Amino acid sequence: MNKKDLKIEYMRGTGPGGQHRNKTSSACRITHIPTGISAYADERSQHTSRKKALQELKNRLVQVKLDEKAQNKKEKRDKAIHDTKRIRTYDYKKQIVYDHRTNKQAPLKEVLEKGKIELLW
């Protein structure tokens, strides 16, 4: 994450705190400009608020990347499901099940007797 991509704002916090809360700008909002994702932290110290907001922003950006990766994987899998004519091959001699859509193998006993079809996903 590049510092040029971040917009850091300090403001007065909300809630109870009396004179200290009303005089100091200890709350922090950090916005990642390319994605528009922001994180807010409201602690007593400006430094603590900045650290917590930065950590929360990093967590959100990582989650966005993971979600995109999962979506791409799902789209690829869905496309493979619709493009193939064969779905699964049950090989009773070798005792395996082969899924042609995901290119995965599983023991025949696990799939048929125990119902663990998710081994092929």
Nearest to 94 by CA among 106, 79, 81, 83: 106
Above 90 in pLDDT, residue 8? yes
Q: What does the pLDDT read at residue 31?
A: 97
User: 85 — phi, psi (to 5°)?
Assistant: -95, -35
pLDDT of residue 82: 75
Question: Picking from 41-45, 82-86, 89-93, 101-105, which range would have the lowest pLDDT averaged per residue?
Answer: 82-86
pLDDT in tens, 12-23: 888 777 787 778
**pLDDT-based confidence at residue 30 (cuts at 50, 70, 90):** very high
Domains of the chain and any CATH numbers: 3-83 (3.30.160.20), 88-120 (no CATH)
**With 80 as the cut, is the pLDDT of residue 85 above it?**
no
Backbone angles phi, psi at 104, to 5 degrees: -120, 155
> With bands split at pLDDT 50, 70 and 90, how would you rate the model's confidence at 29?
very high
Confidence of residue 120 (pLDDT cuts 50, 70, 90): low
pLDDT band at 78 (very low <50, low <70, confident <90, very high): confident
